[in-house]
């Protein structure tokens, strides 16, 4: 069916804003479409999507294109003209590709996967697709954490870093005749998970009882990862003015984090910490000058990157760093950051006790000293990130957050201070994976403490909608039974009503303290982190409640 002129002009406008787009003929090639379950503006700021696009297009027998969740205006035009969603580069309908690959970074994007499948007119459930349909695969951070809520819809899940398993998968794909043969041939590759080859059973009270693999399939899926980032080849990336990181080349300095905060899964899914050499990074940075105005340095703790001073000293590059750690090393970084008006710190809480509970290894003194350095370096806006609902949190802890922000405000009355408040969500692969979320009314009350306490201090307070946090909590710790909820969310604007219709007890997933010996939906994933060690850390954290 012809595509309307309005849709074509919109696609052409996006493509014309890009540098590095790859165009290939489809004939005789494996056709792969990368689907990002959010809009172009957000998806094109994702480093994983950019790198995977470049990696796949290096192969002479592969053509890789992209599609994104349509915005509201595009959705209406697709519906009005009865048009299926198509790839940007060649306007090929998604259903005509051989492989459709989702990159999933955020749990709240899960419902968008089904929206994209619907726009492509592909069956939602894997069991309803056959060799006439594209192979639906999934990768990204959510695949390493807990892909189970999506597993009824996905044919193959990549658990790990694509660079470590892509060649092996493609070799087997080329040699296989149909998806059943492919599933059997890939079962020995680290990081490859075929959900349809596993049967799950539950206790009467809803807890998971056991999971049975089909013959020859492994009980656990071992994460695949790259030992040495310096061995990776970097083939460039698409740069666009119309993304969240506009006209910015993204460069990864390190993976993994050395600090082991108990609420954060980065240490488990991307550990051990791996750092690129200065020589490797400098080579890519010099390449970036050819196509981008700015460079975004990517890494979970760039303050700890050993070559950060040398990197920021490279001439002819304007750098962007998302956040700093509260430490004395920040002074060196700040002195080298040119044209930087905004800096972020993440104290997480103003309470010293609660920072010990979450193993946030910074003190109030560190936070105040780093804030002073930021203001002294002429930074006009300081952004502070806090969480509410952390394990063992009380109202007194929240009052300490207010006191900390007031003290920081007292350091400089002229600069802008913005604080962003999120709700703690228990993440798989962390010591807090057993812990329930705080009740919604509790969070609302503590947010009110912060807003009222800072009303007179010219501090802007931002927070995400509570319903988004609890939806994230549902999918973060959920299992395959949530597939029906995701299906119904296409009809229900309220996800709680979708849960009611699917007979899913919300409290069971969000507010329940999980048994310490309970089989968890994601326990089949081996990221190299010992569950007993996580449990020991959790017990240590809870013991700090009364200190």
Highest mean pLDDT among 273-287, 368-382, 504-518: 504-518
255 and 196 co-located in one domain: no
Look at residue 304 in the predicted model and tell me its pLDDT.
87
Q: Is residue 503 part of a domain?
A: no
Q: Which helix (H) or strand (E) holds 192?
A: strand 192-193
Q: Is residue 66 part of a domain?
A: yes
Q: Is residue 488 part of a domain?
A: no
27 and 144 co-located in one domain: yes
Q: What is the domain range of residue 278?
A: 247-477+514-546
Helices (H), 37-138: 40-43, 47-58, 72-80, 110-120
196 and 259 co-located in one domain: no
Quick check: 353 and 391 in contact, CB under 8 A? no
List, in sequence order, every residue forming a beta bridge with 384; answer none if it has no partner. Answer: 345, 419
Comparing 362-376, 383-397, 436-450, which segment has the lowest mean pLDDT?
A: 362-376
Domains in the chain: how many in total? 2
357 and 418 co-located in one domain: yes
Look at residue 331 in the predicted model and tell me its pLDDT.
67
CATH number (domain holding residue 285) = 3.80.30.20
More confident residue, 301 or 446: 446
Question: Which tokens sit at 291?
Answer: 């196509």
Decide if pLDDT at 455 tops 90: yes
Q: Which of 222, 256, 280 is the last residue of a domain?
A: 222
Q: Which helix (H) or strand (E) holds 136?
A: strand 135-139
464-471: average pLDDT: 93
Look at residue 1 in the predicted model and tell me its pLDDT.
63
Q: Is residue 389 part of a domain?
A: yes
Decide if pLDDT at 233 tops 90: no
More confident residue, 299 or 499: 499
Dump the DSSP string for 314-326: -TT-EEEES---S
Q: Which of 159, 189, 222 is the last residue of a domain?
A: 222
152 and 23 co-located in one domain: yes
For 28-85, what is each residue's pLDDT tens digit? 999 999 999 999 999 999 999 999 999 999 999 999 999 999 999 999 999 999 999 9
Decide if pLDDT at 323 tops 80: no
Residue carrying the six token digits 């969310």: 489
Question: Which tokens sit at 238?
Answer: 């698409």
164 and 275 co-located in one domain: no
DSSP, collapsed to helix, strand or coil, labels residue 512 as: coil
430 and 324 co-located in one domain: yes
334 and 433 co-located in one domain: yes
190 and 308 co-located in one domain: no
425-441: average pLDDT: 97
For 268-283, what is each residue's pLDDT tens digit? 999 899 999 999 999 9
Q: How confident is the model at residue 408 (pLDDT cuts 50, 70, 90)?
A: very high
187 and 259 co-located in one domain: no
For 243-299, what is each residue's pLDDT tens digit? 888 889 999 999 999 999 999 999 899 989 999 999 999 999 888 888 887 898 998
Look at residue 114 in the predicted model and tell me its pLDDT.
97
Q: Is residue 506 part of a domain?
A: no
Average pLDDT score, the chain: 94
Look at residue 180 in the predicted model and tell me its pLDDT.
94
444 and 321 co-located in one domain: yes
Q: Is residue 492 part of a domain?
A: no
Q: How confident is the model at residue 545 (pLDDT cuts 50, 70, 90)?
A: low
Angle between helices 329-336 and 364-376 (to 10 degrees): 20
Look at residue 322 in the predicted model and tell me its pLDDT.
67
413-426: average pLDDT: 96
281 and 414 co-located in one domain: yes
In the chain, what percentage of residues exceed pLDDT 70?
98
Q: Is residue 15 part of a domain?
A: yes
The length of the chain in residues reads 547
Q: How confident is the model at residue 215 (pLDDT cuts 50, 70, 90)?
A: very high
Q: How confident is the model at residue 546 (pLDDT cuts 50, 70, 90)?
A: low
Q: Work out the burial of residue 341: count CB atoms within 10 Å of its CB; fewer than 13 is exposed, 13-18 middle, 19 or more buried.
A: exposed
Quick check: 196 and 504 in contact, CB under 8 A? no
144-160: average pLDDT: 97
Bridge-based pairing state of the strands 208-213 and 198-202: antiparallel
Q: How confident is the model at residue 301 (pLDDT cuts 50, 70, 90)?
A: confident
Q: Is residue 484 part of a domain?
A: no
CATH number (domain holding residue 68) = 3.40.50
More confident residue, 544 or 310: 310
């Amino acid at each position: 069916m012809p595509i309307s002129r309005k849709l074509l002009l919109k696609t052409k406008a996006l493509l014309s804003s890009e540098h590095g787009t790859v165009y290939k003929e489809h004939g005789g090639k494996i056709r792969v479409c990368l689907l990002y379950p959010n809009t172009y503006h957000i998806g094109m700021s994702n480093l994983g999507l950019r790198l995977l696009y470049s990696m796949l297009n290096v192969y002479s027998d592969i053509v890789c294109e992209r599609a994104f969740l349509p915005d509201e205006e595009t959705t209406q035009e697709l519906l009005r003209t009865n048009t299926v969603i198509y790839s940007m580069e060649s306007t090929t309908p998604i259903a005509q590709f051989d492989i459709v690959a989702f990159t999933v970074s955020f749990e709240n994007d899960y419902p968008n996967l089904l929206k994209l499948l619907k726009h492509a007119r592909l069956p939602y459930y894997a069991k309803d697709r056959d060799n006439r349909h594209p192979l639906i695969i999934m990768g990204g951070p959510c695949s390493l954490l807990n892909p189970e809520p999506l597993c009824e819809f996905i044919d193959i899940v990549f658990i790990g870093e694509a660079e470590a398993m892509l060649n092996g998968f493609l070799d087997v794909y080329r040699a296989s005749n149909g998806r059943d043969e492919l599933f059997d041939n890939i079962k020995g590759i680290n990081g490859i998970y075929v959900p349809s080859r596993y049967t799950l059973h539950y206790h009467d009270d809803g807890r998971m009882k056991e999971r049975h693999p089909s013959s020859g399939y492994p009980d656990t899926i071992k994460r695949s990862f790259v030992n040495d980032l310096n061995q990776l080849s970097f083939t460039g990336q698409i740069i666009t003015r119309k993304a969240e990181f506009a006209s910015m080349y993204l460069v990864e300095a390190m993976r993994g984090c050395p600090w082991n905060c108990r609420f954060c899964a980065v240490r488990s899914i991307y550990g051990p910490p791996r750092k690129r050499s200065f020589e490797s990074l400098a080579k890519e940075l010099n390449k970036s000058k050819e196509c981008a105005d700015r460079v975004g340095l990517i890494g979970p703790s760039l303050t700890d990157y050993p070559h950060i001073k040398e990197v920021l000293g490279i001439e002819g590059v304007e750098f962007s760093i998302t956040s700093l750690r509260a430490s004395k090393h920040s002074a060196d970084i700040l002195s080298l950051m040119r044209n930087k008006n905004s800096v972020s710190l993440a104290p997480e809480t103003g309470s010293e006790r609660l920072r010990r509970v979450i193993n946030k290894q910074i003190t109030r003194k560190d936070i105040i000293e780093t804030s002073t350095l930021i203001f002294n370096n002429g930074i006009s806006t300081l952004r502070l990130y806090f969480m509410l609902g952390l394990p063992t949190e009380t109202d007194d802890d929240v009052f300490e957050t207010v006191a900390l922000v007031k003290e920081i405000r007292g350091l400089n009355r002229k600069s802008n201070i913005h604080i962003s408040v999120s709700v703690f969500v228990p993440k798989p692969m962390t010591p807090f994976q057993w812990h329930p979320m705080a009740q919604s009314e509790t969070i609302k009350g503590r947010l009110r403490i912060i807003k009222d306490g800072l009303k007179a201090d010219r501090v802007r307070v931002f927070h995400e909608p509570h319903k988004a946090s609890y939806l994230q909590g549902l999918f973060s710790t959920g299992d395959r039974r949530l597939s029906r909820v995701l299906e119904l969310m296409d009809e229900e604007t309220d996800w709680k009503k979708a849960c009611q219709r699917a007979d899913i007890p919300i409290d069971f997933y969000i507010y329940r303290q999980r048994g310490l010996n309970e089989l968890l939906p994601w326990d089949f994933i081996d990221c190299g982190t010992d569950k007993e060690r996580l449990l020991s850390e959790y017990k240590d954290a809870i013991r700090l409640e009364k200190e």
